[in-house]
Amino acid sequence: MRDDYKIVPGLYGVGQPGSESPVIVTCNYKLTFDIVRRELTGLDVWLLVIDTHGINVWCAAGKGTFSTAEVAHRVQRSGLDKVVSHRKLILPQYGATGVSAHKLRKACGFGAEFGPIRAADLPRYLEQGADETMRRATFSLAERALLVPIEVTLLWKALAWGALVMFVLSGIGPDWFSLSAAWTRGGWALGGTLAGILAGAIAVPLLLPWLPGRAFSLKGAATGLVVGLGAAFWLPGGAHWGEGLGLLLWVTALSSYLGMNFTGSTPFTSPSGVEKEMRQAIPLQGGAVLMAVALWIGAAFMV
Same domain? For 181 and 266 the reply is yes
Domain that holds residue 211: 141-302
Question: Which of 135, 164, 195 is where one domain is finished?
Answer: 135
pTM of the prediction?
0.74
The beta strand positions in 78-180, using DSSP E, are: 88-91, 111-114, 172-173, 176-177
Same domain? For 53 and 173 the reply is no
Domain count, the chain: 2
Answer whether residue 3 is part of any domain: no
Same domain? For 179 and 290 the reply is yes
Q: Which run of H or E residues covers position 248?
A: helix 241-260
Which pLDDT band, with edges at 50, 70 and 90, does 271 fall under? low
Question: Which of 135, 170, 189 is where one domain is finished?
Answer: 135
Answer whether residue 4 is part of any domain: no
Answer whether residue 175 is part of any domain: yes
On average, the pLDDT of the chain sits at 91
Answer whether residue 1 is part of any domain: no
Model pLDDT for residues 213-235, shown as the tens digit of each residue: 889 999 999 999 999 999 999 89
Same domain? For 160 and 236 the reply is yes
Same domain? For 190 and 215 the reply is yes
Answer whether residue 72 is part of any domain: yes
Model pLDDT for residues 103-156, shown as the tens digit of each residue: 999 999 999 999 999 999 999 999 988 788 888 877 889 988 988 998 888 898
Question: Which of 88, 111, 135 is where one domain is finished?
Answer: 135
Answer whether residue 2 is part of any domain: no
Same domain? For 87 and 227 the reply is no
Same domain? For 202 and 104 the reply is no
Same domain? For 178 and 50 the reply is no
The domain that holds 130 is classified in CATH as: 3.40.50.11600
Model pLDDT for residues 22-68, shown as the tens digit of each residue: 999 999 999 999 999 999 999 999 999 999 999 989 888 888 899 99
Which pLDDT band, with edges at 50, 70 and 90, does 253 fall under? very high
25 with 71: CB under 8 angstroms?
Answer: yes
Which pLDDT band, with edges at 50, 70 and 90, does 196 fall under? very high
Q: Is the pLDDT of residue 2 over 50?
A: no
Same domain? For 67 and 172 the reply is no
Distance CA 271, CA 286 (A): 22
Residues 6+ apart with CB under 8 A from 295: 242, 243, 245, 246, 249
Which pLDDT band, with edges at 50, 70 and 90, does 280 fall under? very high
Q: Is the pLDDT of residue 268 over 80?
A: no
Percent of the chain with pLDDT over 70: 96
Model pLDDT for residues 285-296, shown as the tens digit of each residue: 999 999 999 999
